[in-house]
Structure 1
């Protein structure tokens, strides 16, 4: 299989990158008053503006040619039709089937998976309605007031991000608490204020063997049994898993186990029964709205032309910034408190998917692949790390995300918030040159000596690429749309970069090593060979714990 660098479009982009590195964004805007109209797209509920990226007509055309030469359209069709594009694990990649609101058949191994998906959604609906209506009773006859969702990684980040994003739409029927860290401080803090009579636990683990999740689950059971008999577990613990043998051993009735499938990766699974905490917290109808928003983006991704296809453009810009312009990080900056967990969610989504170093056929990738993803809410970031974004000697492209309408209106707060959003992207694009600095200091009455001492410190070079994503409002559908946009971006990135986005062997390596060391820490007479540093650290811990 040929290397992407051998493609004519890739070689043309390398030449364009060399030219554009000498160009200034503010000059491109000055030369082309129609730049915003040219380099922005809209779908229902979303404005996507990438005009502040360091591209021009020629490089954008070359990026589209790259997408065509790597045959994105064909790979997209393979994914939506259930082909096993996760070839290292021989699995289909069908998170799109989980939100397939058209209900058109999707086949894996000649079987339509949609009946399975619909049956599980109906099971979630019925269970959610029973719990929220008060018909589901605990061992003492009381209704559920608190849900504790125990999971890690994809079984935690997606549901928690969505529930926190949509908390303002929740009623007071249930409270949801998340436990992901095996550090006992988190679990103890959650359980401290809960009543076991009114608490329901949702244990999410596909295999029901994940060390962190099962450690927390067993400790939750221990806490619960301090107040109830073992038979009561069935009324207070449900699971999302494929391992019925393990869930039965745990004491969970089969009818209270919600399933998922091997064609759904953990970081793409919030649309499945992994999203049960979302449905419990917000109600099943709101969960369906999240699915509907994602389905709208699926349809856009399948049908829009490459020049107007937002997820494809997002991927192309990431590859452009990372593999051609040499920017090895990207910031996610939501200007909406509801989206405060989005950077952490996208860290996993992108870096676990595309943090790879070999091509489809196992050859070393000769270019930089996925950037480091990081960020936080914009206003807090402005007072934490924006100095680095504006004047640091590393350029970090950034996605700025905001909403036109706030979830909660408080005086002029949203106008002030958005004024910062617009100002930051403009400042990062335009910067402040030496002439502007000198004029400003002169206007403030500074002496020539004072100006000379300050001018270098106050210059902002600008030319910092940003993308602006404006949602109409952060509601259930828009959250679904936003997540699906990034999911399809990740898919396109992987195809363009020629890497498998849907395995995670690096994660598996860490799990295996941790399991072996866990035995050393918890069992007598177990010792494994280690390097001197690891052996020394283990010995120090065991001697001093």
Structure 2
């Protein structure tokens, strides 16, 4: 396993671009011959699922002496054990054939080359470029972006160093030590996760608070107890027009002005945005605005300037180690054959679970209290990327790329939803995530955590028969899981873990022919909300459906 200490980031020779046409074939309308091949393999997969239905998971270990070796993968920063998944050598062979028919590896090569894999917006998806070692060349739609990334990263580093070292001052001359990070969705979940997960790497004297929700309690709690003289507000919004983010930013600005005067925003506010006019109108100086780019989506963006607050609040070099772990996983995903490729193989197995074993949900259970926010982060990553019913070519999707994602940290989760995992009629695959090192220096606790994690995966697989007089004590077993093991919850391993799930998510999208890089599903609710807000403000219900109209009237009552 790769050591968890800081890894020197060496430049790698970029892999040659995919020889496929611009925009890879797997997301363009496919020819009839290809579709026939798809259908043939899908039929094979359906047959394999029907065959395996008669075989409990435990029997697969008896029938396949090499199962552990075949279904375990060492990747940068983590070890993945897929042996408790309901798939055998024959079924896996059919899945690998389907991956080849879908040109899964070719898609990743095209994505690395900066092709417009985000077809609905005609954009590249170059989140890998954001964490690549200096010296590598990346392009987006033919334009070199590596120098732009390096320059912005240098600006981030200088700004973060000034904050961490107490050199950046507020309007009264005092050092800015409290950061209030305002964003939502991908502009919030990633940085919030990193700050909790990497708590042991926090820089002394730095404090970070977050506000995302439109409920005023969120921004009030974030600002509560802060000293305006030592507070810097960082507003993260690509367009600088996101309703929730702007509402919270206005509240924070008003708070600063109230305490420090009209000139305060110039020294007490920064932004991550592409809209320099809007940030300037808001009172934020251009030198305090950091760039976002249209070739990276919000849920893939924590590696960018979106992570500015994280870089500043963690010890020097920690953010770079996070990037190094993700870059190492990128290299593994790009260069390793699918059968030994941890994230792509995981994507194949989750595709199999959803479409052929008909498992509609998936639980994420990290056995680490500091990863309590990981399920929510992955919920957005996977469901916003893949929760779609239309293929990238505009045709109805006949395969499903995303289950319902939920989860919580172990061992707490065992006292919440594990009852359903063990005994409900619908099996739910589980991802167990654990760490071999005792970083809290409490061996008894750590051994207990690991024992519980291993016991739960074993119990879900093996089950236990009920006594004759107690049918309610029956545990059917035969419930699949994946176990991901890492040495320690370090910046490097966390970067590798998050990149693992990014690549797995993209792989599932490719197998189903959908675009994982847009999110049109979030737009309708925004438009309707503006319409309803107008009715609430005017106390009118004209044009509303009967239910919404009745609710508006009830809200309007004194």
| TM category, shorter | over 0.9
> Using a 3 Å threshold, how does the CA distance of structure 1 residues 182 and 525 change in structure 2: closer, same or farther?
closer
Worse overlay, 319-328 or 180-189: 180-189
Does residue 368 in structure 1 map to residue 368 in structure 2? no
Does residue 87 in structure 1 map to residue 119 in structure 2? yes
Kept in 1: contact 2:365–2:432 (CA 8 A): yes
Task: Compute the displacement of 1:229 (Å).
Answer: 1.1
1:189-224 CA distances to partner (integer Å, 9 max, x unpaired)?
221211101111110000111000000010111111
How far apart, in 1, do the equivalents of 2:553 and 2:290 lie?
42
Q: Spell out the pairing of 1:132-281 with structure 2 (5 A cutoff).
A: 132-281=164-313
93, 96, 114: which one aligns with 1:61? 93
SS at match of 1:227: helix
> Using a 3 Å threshold, how does the CA distance of structure 1 residues 263 and 528 change in structure 2: closer, same or farther?
farther
Kept in 2: contact 1:168–1:407 (CA 8 A): no
Task: Compute the displacement of 1:111 (Å).
Answer: 1.9
Does residue 329 in structure 1 map to residue 361 in structure 2? yes
537, 540, 543: which one aligns with 1:529? 543
Does residue 129 in structure 1 map to residue 145 in structure 2? no
Task: Compute the displacement of 1:271 (Å).
Answer: 0.4
507, 510, 522: which one aligns with 2:522? 507
SS at match of 1:270: coil
1:82-124 CA distances to partner (integer Å, 9 max, x unpaired)?
1111110111101111011153211224321001100100000
In the alignment, what sits opposite 2:83? Answer: 51
In the alignment, what sits opposite 2:496? Answer: 481
> Using a 3 Å threshold, how does the CA distance of structure 1 residues 5 and 416 change in structure 2: closer, same or farther?
farther
In the alignment, what sits opposite 1:306? Answer: 338
> Using a 3 Å threshold, how does the CA distance of structure 1 residues 485 and 520 change in structure 2: closer, same or farther?
same
In the alignment, what sits opposite 1:431? Answer: 463
Worse overlay, 129-138 or 406-415: 406-415
Q: Spell out the pairing of 1:322-471 with structure 2 (5 A cutoff).
A: 322-433=354-465, 437-438=466-467, 452-454=468-470, 456-471=471-486
How far apart, in 1, do the equivalents of 2:36 and 2:327 lie?
31
SS at match of 2:163: helix
In the alignment, what sits opposite 1:540? Answer: 554
How far apart, in 2, do the equivalents of 1:203 and 1:335 lie?
32
SS at match of 2:161: helix
How far apart, in 2, do the equivalents of 1:160 and 1:518 lie?
29
1:314-336 CA distances to partner (integer Å, 9 max, x unpaired)?
11011100001000000000001
1:169-201 CA distances to partner (integer Å, 9 max, x unpaired)?
113220101111111111112212111011111
* CA RMSD, 1 decimal: 1.5
How far apart, in 2, do the equivalents of 1:5 and 1:247 lie?
52
Worse overlay, 34-43 or 463-472: 34-43
In the alignment, what sits opposite 2:24? Answer: none
How far apart, in 2, do the equivalents of 1:273 and 1:367 lie?
35
Kept in 2: contact 1:4–1:10 (CA 8 A): no
Task: Compute the displacement of 1:539 (Å).
Answer: 2.3
In the alignment, what sits opposite 2:3? Answer: none
In the alignment, what sits opposite 1:497? Answer: 512
Kept in 2: contact 1:5–1:11 (CA 8 A): no
Q: Report the TM-score when normalising by structure 1.
A: 0.94
How far apart, in 2, do the equivalents of 1:70 and 1:38 lie?
22
SS at match of 1:238: strand
SS at match of 1:226: helix
Task: Compute the displacement of 1:418 (Å).
Answer: 0.2
> Using a 3 Å threshold, how does the CA distance of structure 1 residues 510 and 67 change in structure 2: closer, same or farther?
same
Task: Compute the displacement of 1:410 (Å).
Answer: 1.6
1:337-389 CA distances to partner (integer Å, 9 max, x unpaired)?
11110000000000000000011222222233310000000200101110100
Task: Compute the displacement of 1:468 (Å).
Answer: 0.1
Does residue 12 in structure 1 map to residue 44 in structure 2? yes
Kept in 2: contact 1:91–1:262 (CA 8 A): yes
How far apart, in 2, do the equivalents of 1:518 and 1:139 lie?
37
SS at match of 1:88: helix
SS at match of 1:61: helix
Q: Report the TM-score when normalising by structure 2.
A: 0.92
Kept in 1: contact 2:38–2:98 (CA 8 A): no
SS at match of 2:365: strand
What is the number of residues matched between the two proteins? 526
SS at match of 1:65: helix
514, 524, 532: which one aligns with 1:517? 532
Task: Compute the displacement of 1:258 (Å).
Answer: 0.3
1:137-194 CA distances to partner (integer Å, 9 max, x unpaired)?
1111111221110000000001111111001111322010111111111111221211
How far apart, in 2, do the equivalents of 1:118 and 1:66 lie?
38
How far apart, in 1, do the equivalents of 2:488 and 2:57 lie?
29
How far apart, in 1, do the equivalents of 2:37 and 2:191 lie?
39
In the alignment, what sits opposite 1:442? Answer: none
Q: Spell out the pairing of 1:108-123 with structure 2 (5 A cutoff).
A: 108-123=140-155
SS at match of 1:468: strand
Kept in 2: contact 1:7–1:69 (CA 8 A): no
In the alignment, what sits opposite 2:5? Answer: none
Does residue 97 in structure 1 map to residue 129 in structure 2? yes
SS at match of 1:453: coil
